[in-house]
Structure 1
Amino acid sequence: REYKKAKMDDTKEDEGYDVVEHFRRLIESEPTLEKAVAAIQSLLLVVKHSKASTIMGLQVDLKAATDRLITFDENPSSVSLKAGCELFNIHVNRTSLDFPDIHECISKIVARGDDFAQMSMKSRMKIAKFGAQFIVNGCVVFTHGYSRVVCGLLTFAAKIGKQFSVVVCEGRPNGTGYKTAKFLISKSIPVKLVADVGVSVAMEKVDFVLVGANGVVESGGIISQIGTYQMAIIAKALKKPFYVASESYKFARLYPLSQNDLPETKRQLPLPPSAEHHIPDDEPLFTVSNPSSDYTPPSFISLLFTDLGVLTPSAVSDELIQLYS
């Protein structure tokens, strides 16, 4: 009864604030901002604009806003977005236990939330410092897709005087490899682009693999751009270290055992049509399957570079317990 009353009386969001619109504007205005951080900043404003008169009413407001954000953003990044939203809601619940007065609770949530958002945005620099230690002069780094944290790590390594080159897959069908190559070239880092089907050939000529992640799951495995898993398989077969760079707010309470256990929100990416071998869309015997993400088990991962330090996959579960307890 108390929950229903709170939901009826205390969920009137300020008409001047729309959590989804604010989230969208943040992403568009700051391309380097991670969606999980943008979601936390948007939820902070929900707290500031909430007209709830009880703690329960505030929690209902946040639950509704979180659901709207997750529904709005149906893509692979929603794994990290969900993890960020869950961490923030846990932060609110902890604060409400320490400060039962609604006004004092809100002021503490806002103060602590601002600190958390700032710490989250500084995570990439910590990761860059940890990961740069593994880059030595003359080495060749193999990466896949486009990852802000990976690009930041490589840029930092070049800035402190490391001499290295990068090999990147083209990242079909949306060409994320070209985006990575363009960015690294602008930082004066030599780049070689290879076809996705040429990973096994290119792997023999590199020193290690470095990729980002959309989410790090409880087992220490990762959910990342499609093609990451096959790259990890080839790297292990050729005895090449496979490193992952990821912020701790992407640690998610998920435990997939196979590709079939990935979140339902994964999106099918459209394949570019072939001008020479065009097949009509209405052909009944022809279908296209091209998921946007895949799952790489922890047995294929050597180390994870995070803002919490350099971790083995088995250490992720311990860090998750500390984050969520």
Structure 2
Amino acid sequence: MSLQSIKYTRGSLEILDQLLLPVQSKYLPVRGVEDGWKVINKMQVRGAPAIAIVGCLSLAVEIHPEEFDSKKSLRQELEGKLNYLVSARPTAVNMKMAADELLSLANDLTKDDNVDVAAMKQRFLNATEAMLKKDIADNRAIGAHGAKAILQLVAAAAGAPMAGPVRVLTHCNTGSLATAGYGTALGVVRQLSELGKLEHVYCTETRPYNQGARLTAYELVHEKFPATLVLDSMVAALLRAKNVAAVVVGADRVAANGDTANKIGTYQIAVVAKHHGVPFFVAAPLTSIDLHIPSGDHIIIEERPDREMTHVGEHRIAAPGINCWNPAFDVTPASLITGIITERGVFQPAQLKEAITKLLET
């Protein structure tokens, strides 16, 4: 059974504190929007899909016991709180898209004379709760599409009708800890395992926050997958020596042209993969694709505190007084990406905008 990073029942929300993993598994109560903003900003919950879900559910928890005297006052409350949650971590687009969708629902319900304020609140709660189930279903579809694409490429390269078990590399954490469950890029790995086609998975440490070493490795051990942790600086040597069939990573935001923002270090892996002829896939739900952003040049990159680089826990590892540059994400150009895996299929970056536009119209 995959790990559960989000525990929710109506009126109650808890998240697994990922800052304490892998040493301690502790769930934190999220009693409202202020708590939601803090756990997202402090990275106690992380991963673009999980950020959106926890943010929206924190609002659901807050308004659940409240009574509103009018639909207008409820809509104003929702708008203010959703905008506040978006500010917690601006690079991940999922929270912004979820906020826009929920605010659009609130606007429609406000205008509907057949819906009173109690029914409006109920409809809003239902919509936020539906995100949990949808995310897991979407992740399973991403896993199926991604595994199929990798195996087809491997079989074609070998001139064989069917691929044997494969070795894959992933970066950062994209599993159950980053989503409502199952995972995006790690969902592809999970599907390969379920098909009996996973020979080995390699995960990077993902400095400076070590999401790979702390979180992905934790999940891989929990699932009993054949897995090995490597340092970020070992990727080139790994791809040269270990016959890796594909790289599969997640995304915090995908631009209309296929440029992809993901955890810092992704770009250099894509460059090295291109050099070694290893297919490089991005696994992300449609909610991570922002067609309003024409290219990666327009994606806002969050910069994190120096301390994440200079300290491990309470121990300083860098010389006092040194300047630091600590972007949380980098942008991988579309030209380095083999395919973008979504719940609706796998798309080449050049086809992305047209294909997604058509899907959204249906």
Q: Which consecutive residues of structure 2, in runs of 5 or more, have no partner in the other structure?
A: 1-30, 152-162, 176-182
**Is 1:154 paired with 2:189?**
yes
SS class of match (1:34): helix
User: Which residue of structure 1 lines up, in the alignment, with residue 5 of structure 2?
Assistant: none
Between the aligned partners of 2:85 and 2:249, the Cα distance in structure 1 is: 26
Q: Is the 8 A contact 1:165 1:190 kept in 2?
A: yes
**Is 1:51 paired with 2:68?**
yes
Between the aligned partners of 1:320 and 1:91, the Cα distance in structure 2 is: 21
Between the aligned partners of 1:264 and 1:307, the Cα distance in structure 2 is: 25
Higher radius of gyration, 1 or 2:
1
SS class of match (2:278): coil
User: Which residue of structure 2 lines up, in the alignment, with residue 289 of structure 1?
Assistant: 325
**Is 1:132 paired with 2:144?**
no
**Residues 58 and 312 of structure 1, relative CA distance in 2, 3 Å threshold:** farther
How far does residue 294 in structure 1 lie from its aligned partner after superposition?
Answer: 0.8
**Of 232, 244, 255, which residue of structure 2 is paired with 1:217?**
255
User: Which residue of structure 1 lines up, in the alignment, with residue 28 of structure 2?
Assistant: none
Equivalent residue letter for 1:53: S
How far does residue 231 in structure 1 lie from its aligned partner after superposition?
Answer: 1.1
**Of 209, 230, 235, which residue of structure 2 is paired with 1:199?**
235
Q: Which consecutive residues of structure 1, in runs of 5 or more, have no partner in the other structure?
A: 1-16
SS class of match (2:235): helix
Taking structure 1 as the reference length, the TM-score comes to 0.77
Q: Identity of counterpart residues, as a percentage?
A: 23
User: Which residue of structure 1 lines up, in the alignment, with residue 319 of structure 2?
Assistant: 279
**Is 1:144 paired with 2:171?**
yes
Q: Is the 8 A contact 2:83 2:99 kept in 1?
A: no
Task: Please say which of residues 268-277 and 288-297 is displaced more in the overlay.
Answer: 268-277
**Residues 306 and 183 of structure 1, relative CA distance in 2, 3 Å threshold:** same
**Residues 118 and 52 of structure 1, relative CA distance in 2, 3 Å threshold:** farther
Q: 1 or 2, which has the higher strand percentage?
A: 2
Task: Please say which of residues 172-181 and 139-148 is displaced more in the overlay.
Answer: 172-181
User: Which residue of structure 2 lines up, in the alignment, with residue 233 of structure 1?
Assistant: 271
**Of 69, 73, 78, which residue of structure 2 is paired with 1:62?**
78
Count how many residue pairs are aligned between Structure 1 and Structure 2: 301
Between the aligned partners of 2:334 and 2:107, the Cα distance in structure 1 is: 31
**Of 139, 160, 163, which residue of structure 1 is paired with 2:198?**
163
User: Which residue of structure 2 lines up, in the alignment, with residue 119 of structure 1?
Assistant: 134
Q: Is the 8 A contact 2:281 2:340 kept in 1?
A: yes
Between the aligned partners of 1:35 and 1:163, the Cα distance in structure 2 is: 29
Q: Deviations 1:76-118 (Å, cap 9, x if unpaired)?
A: 5x43222222232234345556666444554444444443442
How far does residue 53 in structure 1 lie from its aligned partner after superposition?
Answer: 1.7
Task: Please say which of residues 157-166 and 249-258 is displaced more in the overlay.
Answer: 249-258
Taking structure 2 as the reference length, the TM-score comes to 0.70
**Residues 116 and 280 of structure 1, relative CA distance in 2, 3 Å threshold:** closer
